[in-house]
Amino acid sequence: MKLKICWPESRDGTCPGAIATLSTHLGVGWNKRKAGADCGQPRFARFWAGSNNGNANPDCLMTTASELSVAEYFARLASSYGAGEYYRKRRAAALTEIERRLGKIESLLDLGCGNGTYLSGFREAIDPKFLVGADLSFRMAQEASRRRVTSAIVVADATLLPFRSTSFRAIFCSHVLQFVADLARCVAEISRCLAPAGTFIIAGGEFGVGERLKTLLGEVRWGALRAELPRPRNARTRHSLGDYQNAAQRAGLSVEPQGVDFTVSCADLAEFYRVRWLPLCESSAQVTLGGVLDELVSERGSESFQMNESLLFCQQSRPTVTSS
Ligand SMILES: C[S@@+](CC[C@H](N)C(=O)[O-])C[C@H]1O[C@@H](n2cnc3c(N)ncnc32)[C@H](O)[C@@H]1O
């Protein structure tokens, strides 16, 4: 299987070569009338002509994480995001439920795929003929492509998707929507790209890890730790599960919530915090955070807890539309 990363090599408003490559690629073993890059469409030209897609400076090593755009912020996590037991167990629980509900499907888009940990899981569990990853961060997309499990990896903004209408049987978004400023537009785009009777799956929305750690650490240590956790500068309001549900319903999707349980140890939780936050912290904060987590592991490392990952299964019911 040929692998491509497609990203905005041309910003002059013309159709970039990389996207033409994607379009060609989609023609291989795939119905071009149903799926493909909308190269000729104004919406697409506008996207690639955008002056800042958030990847202007993927390294930004001298900048504090809270001053970074969403794409730059996640670029710093590209090599580590999703590693460790906490993430592995959470993914396994979600994948089991998704596989149970979807069975074998022909096409799946992992939107905001990060470095592709879920893509590998989808390849193993569902093995869609056409598996695509898309992410705002070029670095993340680059890491995802190294897994060599997809038909294509695309750098794209979830609010302006470079796919033809009705392209995918399923679209998956795990812990992405809280970083998307225009939720309504994003969900409308997803709904557009879903095939009739296709499923949009949202993972994440309620944030149990922080509450769990707060209980374990107590107010004072939790307060010290929390103060050190940077968020990207242009991340807007953190949406709730209810917001996602409303946005999906407004886009014409019917929604069924489903929580999945998984069990982690206190050491797993501490590892999660190291993986997710340490690469973003300045060195002094790394020392504070590392110290608090070391204490936690030595005090209560082997205790285990049941955690819950929220899933929303959003079903497309509109009739087939003819894609342009
Ligand atoms: C918390 S990570 C989750 C990664 C992956 N979905 C997972 O669960 O392992 C969020 C990802 O969403 C991507 N992202 C954030 N905003 C986005 C947007 N507007 N369009 C596409 N991707 C976006 C980030 O670059 C990052 O890779």
**Predicted local confidence at residue 68, as pLDDT:** 87
What is the structure's pLDDT at 51?
A: 30
Domain 5-206+234-261+307-316: CATH superfamily, name plus number: Vaccinia Virus protein VP39 (3.40.50.150)
Question: d(Cα 19, Cα 10) in Å, to the nearest integer?
Answer: 10
Identify the pLDDT of residue 219: 87
**Reported confidence tier of residue 232, pLDDT bands at 50, 70, 90:** confident
Angle 84-90-91 from CA coordinates, rounded to 5°: 90
**Average pLDDT score over residue span 231-259:** 88
Regarding the beta carbon of 157 and ligand 1, being less than 6 Å apart is answered: yes
Domain limits, the chain:
5-206+234-261+307-316
Pairing of strands 253-265, 168-174: unpaired
Distance CA 298, CA 129 (A): 46
More confident residue, 251 or 222: 251
Ligand 1 proximity of 118 Cβ (cutoff 6 Å): yes
Tens digit of each residue's pLDDT (9 = 90 or more) over 164-204: 999 999 999 999 999 998 999 999 999 999 999 999 999 98
The reply to whether ligand 1 has any atom less than 6 angstroms from the CB of 113 is: yes
Please check the confidence at residue 105 and state whether its pLDDT lies above 90.
Answer: yes
User: How far is the centre of ligand 1, averaged over its atoms, from the C-alpha of 142 (Å)?
Assistant: 13
CB 131 within 8 A of CB 148: no
